Chain A
Amino acid sequence: MTREETELLSWIESLLADPNHARHPLHEALELLYHYHLEEKARLERMVSISDNYQRYAREDHLSVRQRYDKALRRQEKLSRISDGFQQLMREHNIALKQDSTHDPLTGLPNRRMIGERLERDLNDAGRRSLGYTLAMLDIDHFKQINDRHGHETGDQVLVAIAHIIQQELRDYDLCARWGGEEFLLLLANTHLEEGRTIVDRLRRRLSKIPIVVGDVTLSVTASAGLSEHCAGEDPLRETLLRADQALLRAKRGGRDRCCVSHG
């Protein structure tokens, strides 16, 4: 209540209480008006108070909804973050599995499965290819002796070194796979037989010249190779590869450390 209001009300009260005015014609009207005012005032205060409470309640409610929403949002974000993490993990495992299933774990070279798939694919794409390719089956001479003399551990490291030398010697678009044991299959893309022979001979020379050092063992190796060029309509795995294998056999029977070609 303001000071003016308090003063007004106490003035009216004292007027009404004064016995001198009791018989005044306006006394009753003023008294009624005075009480009416007090009731209205109380009503107004109650309304304001209800309204204030209501507003406060609505605000608190809003805040708590907001808090719950923020909490749910944070939780959702956390859930997606962790879930994404697990998915990424799964993806990386799949990539690693794919790598494991298509590569030789020792040398890191593509394995039989991968080169087989590549040859199958090339067979299907054959119509689009302008140049053929040559397969070379490469066998390290007397490799068993290395294993027997120095142990398998050393033999394995020699194979890793050989794989490294072969890869350095080949072009980016060639493919070298570990076919098994000490046998490597080279896929020389866009390459005719004679060019393939030049490449393989260069590779064999390099292999025989580079000393391979494993621990305190230093050795060098020679290799025999059989080459075949893929002919149109030929099944790469059943026919071309078989011819390369037969050529390799001839190279070995002919005294090793040499290259034989199959002319189809």
Chain B
Amino acid sequence: MTTDLNIPGSQSTPAIRSDWQAGLLTMQGDSYPENSYELFDQVIGWVEYFIGHESRPLSLELELVYLNTSSVKAMMDIFDLLEEAHLGGREISVTWRYDPRNERIAELADEFREDCTFPFAITPTRVET
């Protein structure tokens, strides 16, 4: 088991949390970090380690809003890793939640989903009234 991630979110970085026992990785918020490689290397590292050392299913729960280009690239890299694992027989699932007042996020999440063959749900969050 590797150390779980628990990175608090900021105005420019998403909150990132991993749960090795549950096989769960969550990311929430905006992502335009100054050094996105430093941030996402940890995430990619955790995903690679989990896939390499465990045979249990892995789930991602995302609620990302704005992503800059390097964050988009990092997410594509993560989805590629997941796709590879899925093709190798691993159970993978992704849920991307978005604010229904911002449908454009759903369209962009759908573009990410394009090359993925594992279950990838894009669901609106409940609106608080």
Q: Which 3 A-B pairs have the closest CB atoms?
A: A83-B69, A85-B108, A82-B72
Distance of A85 Cα from B69 Cα, bound (Å) = 10
Q: How large is the interface on B (under 10, 10 to 19, 20 to 34, 35 or more residues)?
A: 10 to 19
Check: A90 CB closer than 8 A to any chain B CB: yes
Shortest distance from the beta carbon of A84 to any chain B beta carbon, whole Å = 9
Q: Are A78 and B111 in contact (CB under 8 A)?
A: yes
Distance of A82 Cα from B115 Cα, bound (Å) = 13
Interface residues of B (CB under 8 A from A): 66-69, 72-73, 76, 102, 104-105, 107-108, 111-112, 114-115
Q: Within 8 Å CB of A86, what residues of B?
A: 66-68, 72, 108
Q: Within 8 Å CB of B67, what residues of A?
A: 82-83, 86
Q: Are A90 and B66 in contact (CB under 8 A)?
A: yes
Q: Within 8 Å CB of B73, what residues of A?
A: 79
**Knowing A75-B76, A89-B104 touch, does A82 contact B111 (C-beta < 8 A)?**
yes
With A75-B76, A82-B108, A83-B68 given, name 8 new contacts (CB 8 A).
Answer: A78-B111, A79-B69, A79-B76, A82-B72, A83-B72, A85-B104, A86-B67, A86-B68
Provide 12 A-B residue pairs closer than 8 Å at the C-beta atoms, listed in order of the A residue: A75-B76, A78-B111, A79-B73, A81-B111, A82-B67, A82-B108, A85-B107, A85-B108, A86-B67, A88-B104, A89-B104, A92-B104
What residue of chain A has the Cβ atom nearest to residue B73's Cβ?
A79
Total residues of chain A contacting the partner, CB 8 A: 12
**Knowing A86-B67, A89-B66 touch, does A79 contact B72 (C-beta < 8 A)?**
yes
Q: Are A78 and B104 in contact (CB under 8 A)?
A: no
A77-106 contact mask (Cβ, 8 Å, vs B): 1 or 0: 011011101101110100000000000000
Distance of A83 Cα from B104 Cα, bound (Å) = 13
Distance of A78 Cα from B111 Cα, bound (Å) = 8
Q: Within 8 Å CB of B108, what residues of A?
A: 82, 85-86, 89
Q: Within 8 Å CB of A85, what residues of B?
A: 104, 107-108, 111
Shortest distance from the beta carbon of B91 to any chain A beta carbon, whole Å = 25
Distance of A75 Cα from B76 Cα, bound (Å) = 9
Distance of A12 Cα from B108 Cα, bound (Å) = 79
Distance of A88 Cα from B76 Cα, bound (Å) = 19
